[in-house]
Amino acid sequence: MAFTKKICALIMCFALVYCVDAAKKVMPIASPDIYKGTNLAKDTLAPGEKIVNVMKFGAKPDGKFDCTQAFMDAWRATCKTKEQSRLLIPNGRFVVSTMFFSGPCLNPGPITIQVVGTIVATIDPSEYVNGEWLIFEDLDGIKLIGGGTFDGMGKKSWATAENCEIESSTTCIRNPSSIYFHKVRNGLIQNIKSVDPKGFHIFVTNSVNIRLRLLRLSAPATSPNTDGIHLSQSIDVKLSKNTIETGDDCVSMIQGVTQVSINKMKCGPGHGISIGSLGKYKDELEVKEIKVENCTLVGTTNGLRIKAWPDKFPGGASNITFSNIIMDNVKNPIIIDQEYECFPNCQKKPSLVQIKGISFSNIRGTTISPIAVDLRCSKQFPCQNVQLRNIDLNHGPKPADSRCANIKPVYGGIQRPAACL
Ligand SMILES: *[C@@H]1O[C@H](CO)[C@@H](O)[C@H](O)[C@H]1NC(C)=O
Ligand SMILES: *[C@@H]1O[C@H](CO)[C@@H](O)[C@H](O)[C@H]1NC(C)=O
């Protein structure tokens, strides 16, 4: 989304050379999965693992005292030691401003941050010069666990949120994400709650082998740009058993996202599961190998959506499967929209994004709009090999409808609504 913009806004202050670097998008390199075959749900201290409690560094759990310095000191004590260590945030409310949890760390194994209490964001927007709230960066092996909560205190900032999705100006500033993973390898976030982020709940970019499990992310349906999990330019991300109630997309995947699985997610309210928007920036990398299964969407504005801008930049989405999805009063359950923000009478040039190899199977439930399957592809790059199998979507007592443009879907099994002619 606004990520590239942010970099480009920064360049103005530094040198032109950064702009060149920012535009050249390079995928992180895939690596073996260190969590494979391990029981992720089980947390035990490693032999000799040292516990670093933020209270020992001057943090106060009173919901008032600014604990940022204490957290930074405690993080340094956890990360910059060759002894296996874990950072403990005990019960209570710890107010923390924007800060970095930067690596590389010297621990032999993955570092654990165990959040039992609540970490509460400060409110003053001028403190958020880093663009995000809690920044986890340059880490290989990080586990964020413990049942605790990240409270982004977003209410005040929502009122002044700029809509970077529609805004064409390069100065649009996105509100800070609560948990930001940048250049993280082997990351796990499990059994954590996030409430009222200023921007996204969780933003993962330039990262490899990330697990996001058993999360409860919540914000009001009316909160702007509060995506649940926003992914860009990352490889091998596994989401499972997450519950997301928020104001924007439950999960959004933009350029350069590959090998993602989303399993057993409950989404809603929110804008559903979204691929894109695509073709927004120059030199976008393709989105591919995405598998979404066994999810439920309740009262969301979209269900399964692929969206691309007309008249902008090239891009692509391929090998994406959606299966066993239940829709409960969803507005646009199945939607490919290559006229994003330019519908119904789009006069712009067609989208340059190629969408191919998409499969929707066993999608059932209810919709609140008459068009349940809406497939509008690019005139210049018609969608290829889009399959619909066993679709059963009902619009109250009336049958719902389908709409197709620049696409010849391959149908199988039940089709309710009826196939496009
Ligand atoms: C499609 O994606 C799946 C993962 O979702 C992967 O296992 C498979 O190899 C991919 N197929 C092709 C043809 O790229
Ligand atoms: C999704 O549900 C189906 C049917 O219950 C099951 O066979 C499949 O293993 C599930 N997928 C995952 C990844 O758990």
Domains identified in the chain and CATH numbers? 249-421 (2.160.20.10)
Residues with CB under 6 A from ligand 1: 289, 291, 319
Catalytic residue, chosen from 201, 230, 271, 395, is 271
What's the confidence (pLDDT) of residue 20? Answer: 40
Sign of CA dihedral 32, 33, 34, 38: negative
How many angstroms from the chain centroid is the CA of residue 158?
18
- Pocket test residue of 266, 290, 294 for ligand 2, highest count of atoms within 8 A of CB: 294
Q: How far is the CA of 237 from the centre of ligand 2 (A)?
A: 18
The predicted model gives 240-247 an average pLDDT of 98
Residues 6 or more apart whose CB falls under 8 angstroms from that of 304 comprise 272, 273, 292, 322, 325, 333, 334, 335, 360, 363
Report which ligand 1 atom has the smallest distance to the Cα of 261. Answer: 5
CA of 288 to the centre of ligand 1 (A): 8
Q: What is the pLDDT of residues 159-200, one digit of tens each?
A: 988 877 775 656 778 899 999 999 999 999 999 999 999 999
Dmax (CA) of the chain:
69
- Any residues with Cβ below 6 Å from ligand 2, and which? 263, 293-294, 324
Closest CA to 375 of 421, 312, 327: 421
Please determine, for residue 27, whether its predicted confidence score (pLDDT) is greater than 80.
yes
Helix, strand, coil percentages in the chain from 3-state DSSP, rounded to 5: 10, 45, 45
Residue 279 has pLDDT above 80, yes or no: yes
Check: CB of residue 86 under 8 Å from CB of residue 51.
yes
Q: By percentage, how much of the chain surpasses pLDDT 90?
A: 82
Taking the centre of ligand 1 as the mean of its atom positions, its distance from the CA of residue 178, in whole angstroms, is 32
pTM to 2 decimal places: 0.93
CA-wise closest residue to 98 among 76, 123, 117, 77: 123
Convert the pLDDT of each residue in 338-379 to its tens digit.
999 988 889 999 999 999 999 999 999 999 999 999 999 999
pLDDT of residue 14 exceeding 90: no
Query: Is 271 labeled as catalytic in the residue annotation?
Result: yes
> What is the position in ligand 2's atom list of the atom closest to the CA of 261?
13
